[in-house]
Amino acid sequence: MEKKWFTISVYSENNVGLLNRISGIFLKRHINIEGLNVSKSEIEHVSKFTIVVNTTEDWTRKIVAQIEKQIEVIKAFYHTDDEIIYQESALFKIDSHLLFDERQIQNIIKESNSQIVTVSREFFVLAKTGRRHEIDEMHDELEPYGIMQFVRSGRIAVTKATMPISALLNQYENEK
Amino acid sequence: MDTITKKKASEKNPKTMRVSGAEAIIHCLLAEGVDLIYGYPGGAIMPVYDELYKFQDKLTHILTRHEQGATHAAQGYARVSGKVGVAMATSGPGATNLVTGLADAQIDSTPMVCITGQVPRHLLGSDAFQETDIIGISTPVTKWNYQITRAEEIPGIMAKAFFIARSGRPGPVLIDITKNAQFDELDFQYEACTGVRSYKPTPKVKEANLELAAELINTAKKPFIVFGQGVILGEAENELKEFVEKSGIPAAWTILGLSALNTDHPLNVGMVGMHGNYGPNVLTNECDVLIAIGMRFDDRVTGNLETYAKQAKIIHMEIDPAEINKNVKVDVALLGNAKETLELLLPRIKKNSHESWRNEFSLRYEEEFKAVIEKDLHPKKEGLTMGEVVEEINKASKNKAVIVTDVGQHQMVACRYAKFNQSKSNITSGGLGTMGFALPAAIGAKMGAEDREVVAIIGDGGYQMTIQELATIYQNKTAVKIVVLNNDHLGMVRQWQELFFERRYASTVMTNPDFVKIAEGYHIKAQRVTERKNLKAAVQEMMSSNEPYFLEVKVEKEDNVFPMIPSGASVSDIRLK
């Protein structure tokens, strides 16, 4: 089966140790986590993990089932890139003299829709928010000139379809 | 709980009582109906042991000789009684010694709660004496784990631990309690846990899927049932029997499903898997509908998945959604508890007998009997076989004993030939294959079913992995019967070396000690059998003893277990020799 990018969204209780439990499921199958973001969600006291992997759909489905099986996980989903609205952010630290010596740098900044966060005598920092391939493209364009530091954030994503977490939690409360 | 009422009530809330965290743990255990735990003391768990001393009239603590023994004893107890087994250990090495038992309970879905002591909260993360990150270590091998660092957390977390361990697909839970939380006081009040909002233990059976399943079953020409431990854990033995009898469908079992249906039931066609029976394996690839009940298509059951039951429609009754389509793609998934599912399915099933299809199994059995079984049970050669020993135990126990096995050749032989007429009678390490499991597990099994005969059948290899538990047996006068089938080899590995590694017997030959003397050293009655003519009397003597008893049987050194599906081969390529 063909490998694809999948974004796994995990809604869970906010408990110490759960990240270890979830990452262990990837470890067991020797799957690399390409992106990870943990934040609060739209529901009070419910955390959301956004995990990006590059693997087959079959394995993604099995992993999601094994994640969902964990006691403190409320619900887990997986989506392809076209089923979600997502963003990633990146910071590029670049030698300041390039900003003046290399005309192309200014073009890259403009065309990539990135922002200059700070400029000092030694370096300047560019921030870029966008889809993964946009950040990759910008990285490739800047690389020949030299990037002093690069970092990309985990993915944040919302789905086009609804995620009925509140309904699930309400259902539990009602059954109780 | 009269000790509770004697306690001074808390000033803030008269319904609660003011106790130490350590005492609270005891009250939690008592409230959960626990009257027996296994463990080993040490620095970080001493406050709890101090309370155990005070509560010894209500809560018995069995001191094993190694923490691993405590976990296997708790497992044996749980498996035979259906209750939650409890094991306790100190921090550091005490805690890490629980890991094998946790992993075994996790893969075999055994309800168990393990309690470990931990260094005081202010020392966490400082590499203190006997500090180990047991939460981190045990995460992959527990259904749930939690570290308590404040005394007030104890009642809520303990209640949750027992609920999680026993509900849905059962499993092990580890609760790590820092020493300060054991010393500190809390206002104690216990409320049993009835639910956790992020955890759905038992999915509801879907009506539409029941109809689909019934339609497949009712129109099938060659239907075949494979049941696993889900039947025992779900207490669905009667429903399974009814289903089998009404539908007339031949039923085979996985190693952990053994004893859920009486072994002499006419529709019980034996074991599936690597050393299972010939018919059920071969006919897996000829059936038209495969009905899997409470089993998980383990690789030792399926052999090569590419050639496993490809011709069949597959119905999978399973409580754990993560097991659906994990190994085998199924046509109809019936999520839910086995008992409920079968109850709902039964009225939709038409009566049938499937005589000619059943005859296929009989024919295969005859083939297997001639090629394997006859030689195993009624050998003509001089050396003793493992099979004839098991057969002798069957006769002496009238098929009523609990049989506890370790891992290896003796395990396969015992599971193939042991006879059972009662559920929860076959206790073995299935998924993990833990050598050393049987001796401590037998202690737990005997304590969990005191009125039953418990026979541990063990190889000479595995026996020596937890042999120190003989002291636990002696100290507690636990009347288990221990049978070591001694072939002076790690038999199963040796068999593979013979068949697949050109007889290069790397580290599988064992120069063994005098097992009889060792047993006698522990004041356990012991006997050795080296000749067939003495076997029957020895087994009878052992079975009629009211005390612990050790029997060593010197068996043929280089016997192999057949049938056998070579690793990675198809179930239909099972070899009879």
Q: Looking at the complex, report in whole angstroms how far the Cα of residue A160 sits from the nearest Cα belonging to chain B.
A: 24
Residue linked to tokens 């943990």: A38
Q: CB–CB of B322 and A62 under 8 A?
A: yes
**DSSP secondary structure, B160-214, as one string:** HHHHHHHSSS--EEEEEEEHHHHHSEEEE-------BTTB--SPPPPHHHHHHHH
Calculate mean pLDDT across residues B345-373. Answer: 98
**Interfacial A residues in 48-107 facing B (CB < 8 Å):** 61-62, 65-66, 68-69, 71-74
Same fold, A3-84+156-175 and A85-152: yes
For testing contact with chain B, the best of A26, A71, A75, A165 (most B CBs within 10 A): A71
Provide the pLDDT for residue B11.
Answer: 65
Q: Which amino acid is at B115?
A: I
Would you state the structure tokens that stand for residue B359, as one six-digit string?
Answer: 């005859």
Q: Which CATH class is domain A3-84+156-175?
A: alpha beta
Q: Which amino acid is at B557?
A: K
- Taking CA–CA distances from B195, the nearest residue in chain A reads A176
Provide the pLDDT for residue B387.
Answer: 98
Residue linked to tokens 């296997």: B72
Provide the pLDDT for residue B4.
Answer: 47
Report CA-CA distances (Å) from A172 to B92, B198, B205: 38, 9, 17
Q: Which residues of B participate in catalysis according to the annotation?
A: 67, 129-130, 179, 492
Q: Looking at the complex, report in whole angstroms how far the Cα of residue A150 sits from the nearest Cα belonging to chain B.
A: 31
Q: Which residues of A touch B135 (CB under 8 A)?
A: 17, 20
Provide the pLDDT for residue A16.
Answer: 87
Provide the pLDDT for residue B1.
Answer: 42
Cα–Cα distance measured from residue B14 to residue B202, given in angstroms and rounded to the nearest whole number = 37
pLDDT tens digit sequence for B26-50? 999 999 999 999 999 999 999 999 9
Q: Which residues of A touch B149 (CB under 8 A)?
A: none
Closest partner residue to B198 among A65, A71, A176, by Cβ?
A71
Q: How confident is the model at residue B247 (pLDDT cuts 50, 70, 90)?
A: very high
Interchain contact A47–B (C-beta under 8 A): no
Cα–Cα distance measured from residue B202 to residue B166, given in angstroms and rounded to the nearest whole number = 11
Report CA-CA distances (Å) from A146 to A94, A129, B443: 7, 20, 68
Interchain contact B136–A (C-beta under 8 A): yes
Domains annotated for chain B, with CATH where assigned, are 2-188 (3.40.50.970), 207-360 (3.40.50.1220), 378-554 (3.40.50.970)
Share of chain B above pLDDT 90, in %: 97
Q: CB–CB of B322 and A65 under 8 A?
A: yes
Calculate mean pLDDT across residues B99-113. Answer: 98
Among B177, B181, B70, smallest CA distance to B134 is for B177
For testing contact with chain A, the best of B143, B198, B199 (most A CBs within 10 A): B198
Q: What is the pTM of this model?
A: 0.96
Calculated CA dihedral for residues B444, B446, B451, B456, nearest 10 degrees:
140
| CB-based contacts of A53, cutoff 8 Å, min separation 6 | A5, A6, A8, A26, A31, A32, A33, A34, A60, A63
Q: CB–CB of B197 and A17 under 8 A?
A: no
Cα–Cα distance measured from residue A27 to residue B220, given in angstroms and rounded to the nearest whole number = 42
> Is it the case that residue B2 has pLDDT exceeding 60?
no
| CB-based contacts of A62, cutoff 8 Å, min separation 6 | A29, B322, B325, B326
Cα–Cα distance measured from residue B270 to residue B278, given in angstroms and rounded to the nearest whole number = 9
Provide the pLDDT for residue B3.
Answer: 45
**Domain residue spans of chain A:** 3-84+156-175, 85-152
Q: CA neighbours within 13 Å on the CB side: how many for B257?
A: 32
CATH architecture of A85-152: 2-Layer Sandwich (3.30)
- Respond yes or no on whether the N-terminal peptide bond of residue B379 is cis (omega within 30° of 0): no
Cα–Cα distance measured from residue B224 to residue B239, given in angstroms and rounded to the nearest whole number = 16
Q: Looking at the complex, report in whole angstroms how far the Cα of residue A40 sits from the nearest Cα belonging to chain B.
A: 16
* Backbone dihedral angles phi then psi of residue A38, each to the nearest 5 degrees: -120, 130
> Is it the case that residue A176 has pLDDT exceeding 80?
no
Angle at which helices B67-81 and B438-448 pack, to 10 degrees?
40
Provide the pLDDT for residue B7.
Answer: 59
- Local structure of A38: helix, strand or coil: strand
What's the mean per-residue pLDDT of chain B?
97
pLDDT tens digit sequence for A27-61? 999 999 999 999 999 999 999 999 999 999 999 99
